[in-house]
Amino acid sequence: MSGFKFTNNWFEQTAKAVWDELLPKLNPRKVLEIGSYEGASACYLIDKLASQNDIELHCVDTWAGGVEHTADETDMSKVEGRFLHNISLATQQAKYNVELYVHKEPSDLCLAKLLARGERSSFDFIYVDGSHQAPDVLSDAVLGFKLLRTGGVMVFDDYLWFEDLPGGRDPLRSPKPAIDAFVNLNIRKLEITAENGAQQITIMKTAK
C-alpha cells in the first residue's frame, strides 16, 4: 500500500485472510473499531468497503498504549501520528464517501456515549482489539454487543494472547477469559461463526 506508514504486519497475520471472505458476505455500512493503533485494520475496511458504498467508520483508541506497549516503551505519540497519516490517505483514496469518527478516549466511555445518543443496535460490524486486559475486554464486548444490530458481526482479536510475566501467566491479563464468559452468558443471543485458531473469534448476533 503505497504511501502508508505501518511498522508491523499484525493485521495481515491475524485477520486479513478471514476478513477477505467475511466482509463481502456481510457488506457492512456502519463499522465500529475498538483499538486502532496505526490504522491497518481501519485502512483495510475503508479500502474494501468504501470501494462499493458510502460507509460510516468509528475508530476508538486512547493512543496511550496498553501494558504491553509500556513494557517495550512504544512511543504512542508516533503511533497516533502514523494512524492519522494512514487513515487520511485511505479516505482520500476511497471511491465512495467515508464518514469517519475518531474517538480519542477510553472505550467504555465512548461506547456508553454512543448508546446514550441512540446508537443501540445500529452497527453492522464491530472489531474488538483494544485493551487486552480481561475486565476491559469484557466491558468492550458487553457494550459493543448492545451497539451491534441483530444479524451483525463482532470479531474479537488476540483470543489466546498473553503476557510473559516473571511469575507466569495471569489469566486476568488476557482476552480469553473475558471472551469465553461473554460468549457463554450470551449463547442464546449469538452464534460463533468462525474461529481463526489462536487469533480471532467471530460471532453473529442472532437476538437482542
Please tell me the pTM assigned to this model. Answer: 0.94
- pLDDT at 189 exceeding the cut of 90: yes
Lowest-pLDDT choice from 30-44, 63-77, 96-110: 63-77
Distance CA 66, CA 131 (A): 6
pLDDT band at 164 (very low <50, low <70, confident <90, very high): confident
Helix (H, G, I), strand (E, B) or coil at 3: coil
pLDDT band at 7 (very low <50, low <70, confident <90, very high): very high
pLDDT, residue 166, reads 79
Contacting residues for 21 by C-beta, under 8 A, at least 6 apart: none
Q: What is the DSSP string of 87-110?
A: HHHHHHH-SS-EEEEEE-S-HHHH
pLDDT in tens, 63-94: 998 766 565 678 999 999 999 999 999 999 99
Distance CA 96, CA 170 (A): 45
pLDDT band at 162 (very low <50, low <70, confident <90, very high): confident
pLDDT, residue 114, reads 98
Q: What are phi and psi of 9, to 5 degrees?
A: -125, 35
Domains by residue range for the chain, with CATH: 30-190 (3.40.50.150)
